């Protein structure tokens, strides 16, 4: 008898003698039988010989168990016989006789390998770009701390803030790298870090635009809505880019996931804005109004200018500052 793994169309993916056990099946390259697929874990299952000579298939990793083709019931271990195959994702594991095997020495079909990264993925895979991203995060965090946090030990504080910014973004990248290692057998931390760095900069720029919109045109709900949509789209684009770092396959699936995340983010943000009746609470990530020259922040009429000053006064009171020291009656 032979242990045979076939795809959904019946094509043979792998074949081994029944006594060549134990052996493992999964997408990781160090398995005995390597097979790729959306539902295949890096270490999916193991085939063992029982004392009575039968074979059993045991589920490995964190998945709900194994099942027979066409049957939804899942079990941690299933017997493998000539009349009872076992489903491995979209593939099927079965026992066949020597008479059914036309070529017993048939070579195992190697899984399709992804080619070298191209386009923006190739750029993100460069080591100098990855180290540059890490350095940029530290310097950006130091610059923001230097100009916005007035403390005595400014240099030391700026240094630690820069390290904290790097740690926060690296933690986000490590989360995706861990998923990639568990799901696809590869952890592309550097590429995830580059994507996270770029999208962090884009998010900060959008938050600054939203902050100035709220200050200059506080009653413009159309503009606030556009900023909200842009923020939600940024979340979806970020997730899509991180998914594309995993694999260049399943583009449509990645698009659906990113679109769903965008829709969920938009719904939650709109609900929060309506509940609090304050668009800025969901848009203004930095919550810092910079002391730009008055000529750079023109107001649209007396009423809008008054509303802007009123909102600024509330922000200062919220931050514990004295509004009278910043907004004089003469102004």
pLDDT tens column, 180-211: 888 777 889 999 999 999 998 888 888 777 77
Which contiguous run of DSSP H or E holds residue 92?
Answer: strand 91-96
What is the sign, positive or negative, of the torsion defined by CA atoms of 136, 141, 146, 152? Answer: negative
**132 and 89 assigned to the same domain:** no
Which contiguous run of DSSP H or E holds residue 77?
Answer: strand 77-80
Residue 134 in domain: yes
Residue 313 in domain: no
Label residue 310 by pLDDT band (50, 70, 90): confident
Percent above pLDDT 70 for the chain: 75
20 vs 13: CA distance, rounded Å: 16
**134 and 266 assigned to the same domain:** yes
- Terminal Cα distance for the chain, rounded: 92
Average pLDDT over residues 246-260: 86
Residue 294, pLDDT > 80, answer no
pLDDT tens, 14-63? 888 888 888 988 888 888 888 887 778 888 888 898 888 888 888 887 77
115 vs 251: CA distance, rounded Å: 16
Label residue 230 by pLDDT band (50, 70, 90): confident
221 vs 172: CA distance, rounded Å: 32
**72 and 202 assigned to the same domain:** no
List the beta bridge partners of residue 2.
17, 96
3 state SS for 289-307: CCCCCHHHCCCCHHHHHHH
What pLDDT was estimated at residue 277?
Answer: 52
**183 and 274 assigned to the same domain:** yes
Enclosing domain of residue 279: 120-308
What pLDDT was estimated at residue 280?
Answer: 42
Does residue 116 or residue 292 have the better pLDDT?
116
Token digits of residue 245: 């770092």
Q: How many residues are listed for the chain in this entry?
A: 331
**90 and 192 assigned to the same domain:** no
Tell me what percent of the chain is helix, strand and coil, each rounded to the nearest 5: 50, 15, 35
Residue 177 in domain: yes
DSSP code of residue 24 = E
Whether 42 and 89 have beta carbons less than 8 Å apart is answered as no
Token digits of residue 266: 């938009």
Residue 318 in domain: no
**37 and 171 assigned to the same domain:** no
What pLDDT was estimated at residue 321?
Answer: 52
C-alpha distances in Å from residue 260, one per residue of 97, 107, 241, 274: 47, 42, 14, 21
DSSP code of residue 76 = S
Number of domains the chain is built from: 2
**85 and 162 assigned to the same domain:** no
**291 and 189 assigned to the same domain:** yes
Label residue 74 by pLDDT band (50, 70, 90): confident
Residue 130 in domain: yes
141 vs 161: CA distance, rounded Å: 6
Label residue 129 by pLDDT band (50, 70, 90): very high
Residue 217 in domain: yes
| Parallel/antiparallel/unpaired status of strands 45-49 and 55-59 | antiparallel
What is the CATH number for 37? 2.60.200.20
């Amino acid at each position: 008898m032979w242990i045979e793994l076939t795809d959904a169309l019946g094509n043979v993916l792998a074949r081994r003698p029944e006594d060549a056990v134990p052996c493992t099946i999964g997408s990781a390259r160090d398995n005995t039988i390597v097979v790729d697929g959306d539902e295949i874990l890096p270490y999916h299952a193991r085939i063992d010989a029982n004392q009575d000579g039968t074979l059993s298939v045991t589920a490995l990793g964190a998945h709900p168990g194994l099942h027979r083709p066409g049957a939804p019931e899942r079990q941690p271990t299933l017997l493998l016989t000539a009349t009872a195959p076992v489903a491995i994702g979209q593939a099927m594991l079965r026992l066949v006789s020597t008479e059914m095997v036309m070529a017993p020495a048939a070579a195992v079909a190697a899984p399709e390998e992804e080619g070298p990264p191209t386009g923006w993925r190739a750029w993100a895979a460069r080591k100098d770009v990855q180290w540059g991203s890490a350095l940029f995060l530290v310097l950006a965090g130091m610059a923001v701390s230097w100009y916005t946090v007035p403390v005595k030990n400014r240099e030391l504080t700026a240094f630690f803030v820069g390290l904290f910014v790097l740690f926060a973004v690296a933690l986000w990248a490590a989360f995706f790298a861990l998923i990639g290692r568990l799901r696809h057998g590869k952890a592309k931390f550097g590429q995830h870090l580059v994507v996270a760095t770029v999208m962090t900069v884009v998010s900060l720029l959008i938050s600054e635009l939203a902050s100035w919109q709220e200050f200059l045109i506080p009653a413009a709900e159309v503009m606030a809505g556009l900023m909200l949509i842009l923020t939600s789209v940024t979340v979806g684009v970020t997730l899509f880019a991180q998914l594309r770092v995993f694999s260049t396959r399943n583009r449509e699936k990645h698009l659906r996931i990113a679109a769903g995340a965008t829709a969920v983010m938009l719904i939650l943000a709109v609900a929060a804005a309506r509940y609090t009746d304050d668009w800025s609470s969901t848009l203004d990530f930095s919550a810092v109004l910079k002391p730009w020259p008055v000529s750079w922040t023109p107001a649209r009429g007396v009423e809008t200018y008054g509303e802007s000053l009123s909102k600024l006064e509330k922000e200062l009171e919220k931050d514990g500052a004295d509004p009278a020291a910043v907004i004089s009656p003469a102004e």
